[in-house]
Amino acid sequence: MPNTPNTKLELDFVNTFVVRPKRARYVGFVVSPRLRPKFLNALYGFSDFDPRFKVSLSRRADSSHAFLTELRHRGAGSNAYLISTNHDLDAVTMPLDAAINDVHGFGDGTIIICAPAHLAYYEGEWRYRFILDSHPLGSAR
């Protein structure tokens, strides 16, 4: 049986990190159980994130440990909520370190939303991964 999505958290994520012209479309997917699979399928190569919020690490630093360290440096809490094409991980809340270790390097479309919700990690196909942070380092939190 599928997990129950945290629709409020998912809507907050879409409204924060998706480019404005595409938000209404993804909001419609998130709030509809019938359309949510379209949102999940888009996660494999999702290209509608607002580029202002993307934070990439160097190829040398491309490891689960490095991403976890960077997320913690940016204020991530101990738990995270996942939106994933992997049904075992979708709509699950789990420890952040376990989430990063389960997702990093597996290339399926997954978003890990950290607490606080201004921070997330995205893992897509072909080593397409980065952090999303709507409060860049050095700004007031």
Q: 3-class DSSP state for residue 132?
A: strand
Q: So what's the pLDDT on residue 138?
A: 56
Identify whether 141 is part of a domain: no
**pLDDT the model gives residue 28:** 97
Q: Is 75 left (phi over 0), alpha (psi -120 to 50) or beta?
A: left
Structural domain includes residue 101? yes
Domain count, the chain: 1
Residue 135 burial by Cβ neighbours in a 10 Å radius (0-12, 13-18, 19+): middle
For residue 139, being part of any structural domain is answered with no
| pTM greater than 0.75 | yes
Tokens found for residue 67: 């991403």
Mean pLDDT of the chain: 91
Classify residue 123: in a domain, yes or no.
yes
| Residue 76 is assigned to a structural domain of this protein | yes
Looking at this protein, which amino acid is placed at residue 139?
S
Q: Is residue 2 situated within a structural domain?
A: no
For residue 74, tell me if it sits in a domain.
yes
Supply the range of the domain harboring residue 125: 7-133
